[in-house]
């Protein structure tokens, strides 16, 4: 398996001693020229030092040349030391990469409240720099994993601005996933020339349909970040909003973002099922998403799905407390196009048929509210015994 990086980008993943067994644990991404960057960081008020640093960089609008990522340690809730350690690593990494410190971002993922092992991370960066290559994407994607069981990657070729470019991304995330944004890091790269205002708009729209439409456990992390870098190495004229090229690029970004977001849910800690929840006919799109997320985050719904328990009443009950407007006498609930409830009462459904539906590895749930035109889709997974075991032993 390979992960082709867009022109002008190189990457590497190395073992720096943060993980046991020689596993890759520090990643570096580099662009051979300044890249426009747009992104989103966690909405959690308790932000890790890397999230605060990235948030400030995004607000400044300055271009980026490199990103350093470490695993096993989140650099969160470490007080002033957290930011001081980050700056020390950024400055040293900039010198090693021969770029300006202002062009380097750093991200961390792992345990909260433990100081960064600065020297180990810097040793990792020193080892990564000579290994940077266009073929290093998969190693970088592997190096950022924590409780993940698989790498999450996606790549799409796209014709835009008279040239063929590429959009490639990789992500990590398995638990503490309830983005708006969760412990989720995603890096998407393109060699197309995209002005930053357009890049930011495309990211915002794509994030809402992907990373902000997934949940594993309802917990929002201190470190979530998704970034899209565009370095223009493909040689196209800058894309213009509304142009066919901009639309093609936005579709490619949508595809990569959704691929990565769904991969995170499929690899949810202890997950055995991938669940798509769609709410239609809400008063507004926002209310539809609120209702869908309530169902997706309900422990009772998620455990019922794990056990293939045909307790469908939990679905509409979750919609009822979501804050979305609902009239139980107008609503309809279905699973795999099999109607369970309609117009104020249960239909004549089969317990065996519903157990069969809930036993499938992929489940689709539909709630029709019939109050308006609002609609939303959210992706989640079931909640298993293994989720409790993984998180009960995370720091031991």
Cα–Cα distance for residue pair 324/287, rounded to 1 Å: 5
Catalytic-residue membership of 183: yes
Q: Is pLDDT above 90 for 29?
A: yes
Cα–Cα distance for residue pair 15/123, rounded to 1 Å: 9
Query: How far is CA 381 from each of CA 173, 340, 362, rounded to the nearest angstrom?
Result: 13, 21, 9
CB atoms within 10 A of CB 94: 18
Supply the pLDDT for residue 271.
82
Q: Is pLDDT above 90 for 202?
A: yes
Domain 9-266: CATH architecture, name and number where available: 4-Layer Sandwich (3.60)
What are the residue ranges of CATH 3.60.70.12 in the chain? 9-266
Read off the pTM: 0.90
Supply the pLDDT for residue 333.
97
| 30 or 383, higher pLDDT | 30
For residue 79, the SS3 value is: helix
Contact indicator for 166, 4 with CB cutoff of 8 Å: yes
Supply the pLDDT for residue 179.
43
What is the rounded (10 degree) CA torsion for 91, 94, 98, 103? -120
* Residue 61, C-beta contacts closer than 8 angstroms, at least 6 positions apart: 196
* Residue 229 burial by Cβ neighbours in a 10 Å radius (0-12, 13-18, 19+): buried
> pLDDT tens across 357-370, in order?
999 999 999 999 99
Cα–Cα distance for residue pair 261/46, rounded to 1 Å: 23
Cα–Cα distance for residue pair 206/144, rounded to 1 Å: 22
Query: Comparing 10-24, 182-196, 224-238, 362-376, which segment has the lowest mean pLDDT?
Result: 182-196
What are the residue ranges of CATH 3.10.20.340 in the chain? 274-392
> pLDDT tens across 78-87, in order?
999 999 999 9
In the set 183, 220, 225, 380, the catalytic residue is: 183
Supply the pLDDT for residue 220.
61
Supply the pLDDT for residue 323.
97
| 348 or 278, higher pLDDT | 278
Please give the mean pLDDT across all residues of the chain.
92
Average the pLDDT over 259-272 and give the result: 86
- The superfamily in CATH containing domain 274-392 is ArgJ beta chain, C-terminal domain (3.10.20.340)
* Residue 211, C-beta contacts closer than 8 angstroms, at least 6 positions apart: 40, 179, 181, 184, 186, 226, 257, 260, 261
- N-terminal to C-terminal alpha carbon distance within the chain: 33
């Amino acid at each position: 398996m390979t992960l082709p990086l867009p022109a002008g980008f190189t990457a590497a993943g190395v073992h720096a001693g943060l993980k046991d067994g020689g596993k890759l644990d520090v990643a570096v991404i580099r662009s051979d020229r300044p890249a426009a960057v747009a992104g989103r960081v966690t909405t959690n008020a308790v932000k890790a030092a890397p999230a605060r640093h990235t948030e400030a960089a995004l607000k400044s609008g300055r271009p980026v040349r490199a990103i350093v990522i470490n695993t096993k340690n989140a650099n969160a809730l470490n007080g002033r030391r957290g930011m001081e350690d980050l700056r020390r690593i950024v400055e040293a990494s900039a010198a090693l990469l021969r770029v300006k410190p202002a062009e380097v971002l750093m991200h961390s993922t792992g345990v909260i409240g433990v100081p960064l092992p600065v020297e180990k991370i810097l040793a990792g960066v020193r080892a990564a720099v000579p290994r940077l290559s266009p073929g290093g994407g998969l190693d970088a994607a592997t190096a950022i994993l924590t409780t993940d069981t698989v790498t999450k990657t996606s790549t799409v070729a796209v014709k835009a601005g008279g040239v063929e470019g590429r959009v490639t991304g990789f992500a990590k995330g398995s638990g503490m996933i309830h983005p708006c944004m969760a412990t989720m890091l995603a890096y998407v790269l393109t060699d197309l020339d995209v002005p930053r205002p357009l890049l930011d708009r495309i990211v915002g729209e794509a994030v809402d349909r992907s990373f902000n439409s997934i949940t594993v456990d309802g917990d929002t992390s201190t470190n979530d970040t998704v970034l899209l870098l565009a370095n223009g190495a493909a040689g196209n004229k800058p894309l213009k909003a509304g142009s066919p090229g901009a639309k093609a690029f936005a579709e490619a970004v949508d595809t990569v973002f959704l691929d990565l977001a769904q991969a995170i849910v499929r690899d949810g800690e202890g997950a055995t099922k991938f669940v798509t929840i769609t709410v239609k006919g809400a008063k507004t799109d926002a209310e539809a998403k609120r209702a869908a997320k309530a169902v997706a985050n309900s422990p009772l719904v998620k455990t019922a799905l794990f056990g293939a328990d045909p307790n469908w009443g939990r679905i509409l009950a979750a919609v009822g407390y979501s804050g979305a407007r609902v009239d139980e006498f107008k609503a309809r609930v279905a699973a795999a196009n099999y109607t369970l409830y309609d117009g104020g009462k249960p239909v004549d459904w089969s317990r065996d048929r519903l157990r069969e539906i809930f036993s499938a590895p992929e489940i689709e749930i539909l709630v029709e509210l019939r109050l308006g035109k609002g609609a939303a889709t959210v992706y989640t997974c079931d909640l298993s015994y293994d989720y409790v075991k993984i998180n009960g032993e995370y720091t031991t």
